Structure 1
């Protein structure tokens, strides 16, 4: 009865399985707790989103992925840096795609995106849409063109959609931001600066 009400436990599930003479099967699935902690940072960008961005940029690859989960990570980039390569401490050049760790280091990554764009890189960041945070107001609002995405993304490795909305921030190329927004159904563009 507890299971039917959604209040069951593993123990109640096991008892029911024994009563029905079936072998209990408990599968551990990747949850989204990692998006709110520094425990696991391997949340991969959905391939269709990467494809749409590259089509908008008329490119097959990004020049750099400075926070790749692996040397052969999912982002098509000419150069990929992993945590061991310390992307925060290096210079970025060209067209850069960043899906930063969604941990306590997120503000540092977003600040780096803005500073590297100021130095000449074009940076595209997939970030949680946390408009209430200091890092958003310090380094995104008014500095990056923001593409608000429709719905919630299903990151690679996850079994369901993320528990938060996402946005794409583009530092350094407003026209590219317009093209990206036009390729993503239901998204809308918030320009860094509104020209009167």
Structure 2
């Protein structure tokens, strides 16, 4: 029997549901209005509204919602989720650090925070942190409010804020800032 898809974080075990650790939300100074990829059951992100797999956050309109928290099902549908978040224009996505993919370049964020180390997701079986995933994670910010949240986040890593008009970038690592030269778009 093939493994189901949709809620995987590239795990090699039989558990396909992995949740965002609560400490990550505590480190992000932003109030989320919507989690369109909410876990079923009682484990909840601190968003005001939650859409589960059955409610299909890709098909349900996000119109009128404020900041979105997006930890999408990892796999072939990531581009669709990021496209919807980019159009919405206000939110943060947690995805594997895959800067070599078409989706990263097509749905380029306003800022990206490359998290230091490997994020240990919460197992749906035990509600405890699981093993380390197969890749590092990054937070992609869309909109001014989300960019400011990444700037103010109490999270270790490297933050890049992009100026899409000039294709330049500002890079911050542990309090130091470096402005990259303008690039040819």
TM-score normalised to structure 2 length: 0.72
Q: How far off its partner does 1:114 sit?
A: 0.8
On the 8 A contact 1:152/1:164 being kept in 2, the answer is: yes
Query: Which of the two has greater helix per residue?
Result: 1
TM-score normalised to structure 1 length: 0.69
Q: How far off its partner does 1:152 sit?
A: 0.6
Take 2:139 and 2:133, find their aligned partners in 1: how far apart are those partners? Answer: 15
Which residue of the partner structure matches residue 151 of structure 1?
117
Which residue of the partner structure matches residue 4 of structure 1?
none
Take 2:157 and 2:148, find their aligned partners in 1: how far apart are those partners? Answer: 11
Take 2:40 and 2:24, find their aligned partners in 1: how far apart are those partners? Answer: 19
1:107 aligns with 2:118: no
Q: How far off its partner does 1:188 sit?
A: 1.6
Runs of 4+ in 1 over 3 A off after TM superposition: none
Q: After superposition, give the CA deviation of every residue in 1:43-83 in whole Å (9 maximum; x if it has no partner).
A: 10011101111xx22x4xx2110011115432011110001
Take 1:48 and 1:40, find their aligned partners in 2: how far apart are those partners? Answer: 22
Q: After superposition, give the CA deviation of every residue in 1:85-143 in whole Å (9 maximum; x if it has no partner).
A: 111112222011010000211111111111111xxxx1111011100100001002xx3
Report the count of equivalent residues. 151
SS of structure 2 residue aligned to 1:87: coil
Q: 1:176 to 1:123 in 2, by over 3 A?
A: closer
Kindly report which structure 2 residues correspond to 1:31-70, keeping only aligned pairs within 5 A, or say none.
34-36=8-10, 41-53=16-28, 56-57=29-30, 59=31, 62-70=32-40
* Greater Cα shift, 87-96 or 162-171: 87-96
On the 8 A contact 1:178/1:189 being kept in 2, the answer is: no
Larger radius of gyration: 1
The CA RMSD measured in Å over matched residues stands at 2.3
On the 8 A contact 1:45/1:74 being kept in 2, the answer is: no
